[in-house]
Amino acid sequence: MTVETLVTLSAAARDLSIAATAGALLVIAGVLPAGHRAVARASLIARLGSIGWVLGAFSHSMATYASIRGTLPDASRFVEEWWSYSMSVDLLQAYLQVLAAGLVASVLCTLVRTPALAAWSLVPVAWALAWLAQTGHAAGAADHHLATSAMFLHLVGATVWTGVIGVMLALRGVLGALAKDAMVRASRIAIWAAAAVVVSGLANGWIRLSEPSELWTTQYGRLLLLKTGLMVVAITLAVVHRRIALPRLSERQVAARFWRLMMVDVGALVAVMGVAAVLASTAPPIPIVPVEEPSPAYQLTGYELPPAPTLATWVGLWRLEIIAAFVLVALAVVYAIGVRRLRRRGDAWPWHRTASWMAGIVLMVWITQGGPTVYGMTTFSGHMLEHMLLVMVAPVPLTFGAPITLALRALPPRADGSMGPREWIRTVVESRWMRFWAHPIVAAVSFAGFLIVFYYSPLFELALRNHAGHLWMTLHFTVVGYLFVNALVGIDPGPTRPGYPLRIVLLFATMAFHAFFGVAIMMSTVLLAPTYFGLMGRTWGPDAITDQQYGGGVAWGIGELPVVALAIGIIVAWRRADAKETRRRDRKADRDDDAELKAYNAMLAATAEEDARTER
C-alpha cells in the first residue's frame, strides 16, 4: 500500500467517524426521548465513532507527514520527527488540532446520556471541522475567506447529513413505536444540512468560475450544475416525503417500511457524493495560483485595497460572507414560517413586529456583506462603524421583532420527553447563565465594558487578522446589543426588568460611557493595532492615527439615533403600562363597587377625626 493510498483511506476513516459521532450526538440531543433504549445505542455509536476519529486522525497525520517527507525515516525516530514537524508545519498543526478535538470528544462521549451532555459534546466536533476547513483545497482559492467559510459550512452540512442518516439506519431495530416521530425529526435536521451543502457547494464552485457562462460551457461548470440539481431533487424528495408520505402512514407501517423509506435519503446522498468526488478531481476553469507580488493590504486582509470610500461604494460594494449570509437568510425564513403557522391556526401576530425583524435582517446583511465589513477590514473608522452598527443599531429592530416570543408561540411542544427546538429555547432562556447575562445591570455593564476589553486587548487584532475571530466578534456584539435592548424595551422572556425610571438611568449612563469612550479615542495619539492599520498601505484617506480619531467620532456620534429610539420606546412602554394599570384598577373598582377608594376615604376621615379629637 502506498503512502498516498494510506493518506486517502485514513482521511476517509476520520471523516466518517466524525460524521458518526456528530450524527449520534445530534440524534440524542434533538430526536430521542431521554431514557429511551435507543439512547444507549446512539451513545455507543458516539463512543465508537470518537475512537475511530482519534485513530483515523492520528493515522492521517502520520501518513501526511510521511508523504511530505517523501521517504520513511527510521522507525525509532518516526514519532519524534512527526511531532517535531507537527509543531512547525501549518498543515500538520491543523491535523494535530483535529486529533486533540477527537481526544476531547472521546472523553465526553463516554459520559453522554442526556441531551444537554450531547449538545456540549458537539463543541469539539465543530472545532475539528473548523480546522479541517483550513486544510481543504478551496482554502487556497483567490477569495480565501469565502473559500474557507464555504468549506466549513460544506463540511458541517455533509457531516450532519451523513451522520444523521447513518445513525438512523443503525437505530432501526431499537426505535420501535418511535420510528415515525424519529424519522420526521431526523429528516428536518437532514434538510437543513442538505441546504447548507447546496449553498456552500455553489459558493465553492463560484469562486472557481470567471463568468456565469462557464457554468454550461465547461465540464467543471456542468458537473457543478449536476451536483446542485441532484441536491435540489434530494431536498425536494425529503420535504415531500416528510410532509406528504410520512403523515399518511401509521407507526406500524413506518416501522415495517423503514428501510424503503430511508433509501430515498440514502440514494440521494450517495448520488451527490459520487458527483462531488468527480467534481473534486476535475480542474476548474480558474486555476489556483498564488499572487506574485501581493500588496500590503492583500497580505493583511486577503483582498486588494478597495476604492476610496464614497456614498456609492458604501452602498454598492459587496463581499459575500457565506456563513453569515446563510444564518441570516435561515433566520428570516424560520421567522416567516413561524408567523404563517400562527396565522393558520387563527392566532394574531403584529405586522409591525414582522416588518421590524425583516428590516433588522436586511440591515445585518448589509453590515456583514456590504460596505461596513469591506472598509472595516482596511480602516479603523470603517471598523468602528461596523462595530457600532452591530451593537447599537441592528439590535433595535431585531429586538422589536420579538423572535423568542414568536418561537415559543409557534413551535409545537414535545410530550415524549425529547428536546425539540422549543424545549432547547426554553432551556437556554431559563438557564442561570442566561438570566445572569440578561439582567439589565449586567447587560448594561457588558454593553459598555466589552468596549474596553475588546479594543485594549489582543482580541481586537485577532478579530482583524483571523476570519473566525471576526465572525465571533459579529455574533458577540450582536448578542450583547440584543440583551441590552431587550432588557430595556423588549418583550422576549429572560430578564427581570427594573422600573421604567431605572431603565432611563441605565440607558443614558451606558450611552454616556460610549460617548466617553469615543472622546478618549478621538483624543488618543497612540495607534491601536499598529502592525495592522499602520501597515495597510492605503493610497487614499487620512493617515492611520487621524482615521482612528475619526473612528472615535463615529463611536461618539452614532449612538444618538439609537438612544432616541430606545428612549421613545421606554416612554411609550411606560405610558402603556400606566394605561394598563389604570384599566385594571377601573375594572377592579367596577367589580367591588370602588372598595379601594372607599377604604382610602374612610382612612382619611378616620385620620381627620383623630386629629380633631387631639386638638380638642
Give the whole-angstrom CA distance, residue 196 versus residue 153.
6
Give the whole-angstrom CA distance, residue 356 versus residue 351.
9
Handedness of CA 178, 184, 189, 193 (dihedral sign): positive
Q: Distance between terminal CA atoms of the chain?
A: 116
Joined grid coordinates for residue 391: 451593537
282 with 220: CB under 8 angstroms? yes
Give the per-residue pLDDT at 274: 65
In degrees, rounded to 5, the angle at the alpha carbon of residue 532 between the alpha carbons of residues 529 and 537 is 135
| Burial of residue 414, with CB atoms counted within 10 A of its CB: 0-12 exposed, 13-18 middle, 19 or more buried | middle
143 with 291: CB under 8 angstroms? no
Joined grid coordinates for residue 470: 471576526
In terms of average pLDDT, the best of 344-348, 397-401, 560-564 is 397-401
Q: How far is CA 553 from CA 512, 514, 562, in A?
A: 14, 11, 16
Q: What is the pLDDT of residues 128-137, one digit of tens each?
A: 999 988 876 5
Q: What is the pLDDT of residues 214-227, one digit of tens each?
A: 777 777 777 777 77
Give the per-residue pLDDT at 126: 93
Which residue would you say has higher pLDDT here, 494 or 199?
A: 199
Give the per-residue pLDDT at 474: 92
Q: What is the pLDDT of residues 121-165, one digit of tens each?
A: 999 999 999 998 887 655 445 567 888 888 899 889 989 988 998
CA 409 to chain centre: 22
29-33, 197-201, 373-377, 454-458 — which is least confidently predicted? 197-201
- Say whether pLDDT at 73 is over 60: no
Joined grid coordinates for residue 7: 493518506
Q: What is the pLDDT of residues 589-603, one digit of tens each?
A: 556 566 665 666 667
289-303, 409-423, 484-498, 546-560 — which is least confidently predicted? 289-303
- Say whether pLDDT at 581 is over 70: no
Which residue would you say has higher pLDDT here, 22 or 251?
A: 22
Give the whole-angstrom CA distance, residue 36 versus residue 210.
53
Give the per-residue pLDDT at 93: 84
Q: What SS3 state is found at 208?
A: coil
Contacts 24+ apart (CB under 8 A), 567-574: 567/504, 567/507, 569/400, 569/488, 569/489, 570/488, 570/489, 570/500, 570/503, 570/504, 570/507, 573/489, 573/500, 574/500
Q: Kindly state the percentage of the chain with pLDDT values over 70.
A: 81
Give the per-residue pLDDT at 70: 67
Joined grid coordinates for residue 115: 441531551
Q: What is the pLDDT of residues 525-535, one digit of tens each?
A: 888 988 899 88
Give the per-residue pLDDT at 597: 58
Handedness of CA 376, 380, 381, 387 (dihedral sign): positive
In the structure, what pLDDT confidence band is assigned to residue 583 with cuts at 50, 70 and 90? low
Average pLDDT, the chain: 82
Q: Please report which helix (H) or strand (E) contains residue 539, including its range.
A: none
Three-state SS sequence of 22-46: HHHHHHHHHCCCCCCHHHHHHHHHH
pLDDT mean over 392-396: 89
Give the per-residue pLDDT at 140: 47
Other CB atoms within 10 A of residue 206 CB: 17
Q: What is the pLDDT of residues 77-135, one digit of tens each?
A: 667 777 777 777 777 888 889 999 999 999 999 988 889 999 999 999 999 999 988 87
- Say whether pLDDT at 18 is over 90: yes
53-62, 190-199, 604-613 — which is least confidently predicted? 604-613
